[in-house]
Amino acid sequence: MQLFDDFCKSFNKELQRANFGFAYNRVHLFYRSQWQKDEINTIYLLYRWLWALFFLGVYIMCITVQFSDGKFFIYMTNWGFGLCTITLLISAVQVTCWHYDLRNTRSLVQESAHKIDTSRALKIYWWLYNMTLSLALIISTVYWVFLHGKMNKPMRYPGISIITHGLNSVMMMIDFFVVAFPIRILHVVYGMSLAIFFFIFTYVYHLCGGTDEFGNPYVYPILDWSNPDRCLVTFVGIFLLILCYWMLLFGLYKLKRMFNKAFSVVWTPHAVGLI
């Protein structure tokens, strides 16, 4: 019951108008892993660059082999994977600046006793991360449940499809458990905003006579605007799925924090008998 009461208090605290924004004075948490003890960690730096460069390489390969006269950019999958790539690259650069104290990134935070306003760059990163995390989960769920084998076109690159529709979510969930900065419930609106933008895009694309690379008059079969009722159902379903996933992520964030605190207590010098 105590755990449930604490969760409810945290939930109510989250529902404040200020939490739509990105103000957060513990900015050092954006530069480090949830599980590292020291201010800098070489393994975490390598982790950030390894995944960032991997996603960049895959995204460049995807554009090269799937460009199809620009049709590559009509798909939410490719929007999502592109956002993953950008977000991971930004994070890698930021952690590098922190690790080597470039532009006094770490010194300024330490001199302020870790109490400093969130910079514009960190706000942009946090905003992108929120959209990328929810979008990756939505893309994987919708594709494997509703679209796989039902796209009315051949699957030319199954390996790429597995990476862009599966590894994206796996990677973002791993990263979610690694990073230290918080999840805010009200930030769910940014993932929803991106979904709205994509739905508007598909409608305008339909009105302009747009097709996929095989001539089908839609971007996805479940967003065929010649059947607006089906599109509306898809729209509502996606919104509910985003909300459910975000609430689940908030709960997992709280559990992650609780486990991290317990882990920190267990491994203190006093606890292990070193002092």
- Tokens representing 166 are 């599966």
* Sequence-separated contacts (24+) of 218-224 with Cβ below 8 Å: 219/74, 219/75, 219/76, 220/75, 220/76, 220/147, 220/151, 221/147, 221/150, 221/151, 221/152, 222/142, 222/146, 222/147, 223/199
The confidence band for 13, taking pLDDT boundaries of 50, 70 and 90, is confident
CA distance 10 to 238: 26
CA distance 260 to 8: 20
Beta bridge partners of 179: 33
Q: Which of 48-57, 142-151, 247-256 has the highest mean pLDDT?
A: 48-57
Domain that holds residue 88: 2-266
The pLDDT, as a whole number, for residue 61 is: 96
CA distance 20 to 185: 9
The pLDDT, as a whole number, for residue 265 is: 56
- Answer yes or no: is 273 within a domain: no
The pLDDT, as a whole number, for residue 272 is: 42
CA distance 208 to 223: 15
Number of domains in the chain: 1
More confident residue, 7 or 245: 245
- Answer yes or no: is 176 within a domain: yes
The confidence band for 270, taking pLDDT boundaries of 50, 70 and 90, is very low
pTM (whole model) above 0.85: yes
pLDDT tops 60 at residue 227? yes
The confidence band for 7, taking pLDDT boundaries of 50, 70 and 90, is low
pLDDT tops 50 at residue 149? yes
Of all residues in the chain, what percent carry a pLDDT higher than 90? 72
- Answer yes or no: is 220 within a domain: yes
**Mean pLDDT calculated for residue range 213-217:** 91
Dihedral-angle region of residue 157 (phi above 0 means left; psi in -120 to 50 means alpha; beta otherwise): beta
**Mean pLDDT calculated for residue range 61-85:** 95
The pLDDT, as a whole number, for residue 274 is: 42
- Answer yes or no: is 155 within a domain: yes
User: 98-127 pLDDT, tens per residue?
Assistant: 999 999 989 988 887 667 778 899 999 999
User: 44-59 pLDDT, tens per residue?
Assistant: 999 999 999 999 999 9
- Answer yes or no: is 275 within a domain: no
Q: Are 122 and 97 contacting, i.e. CB atoms less than 8 angstroms apart? A: no
- Answer yes or no: is 160 within a domain: yes
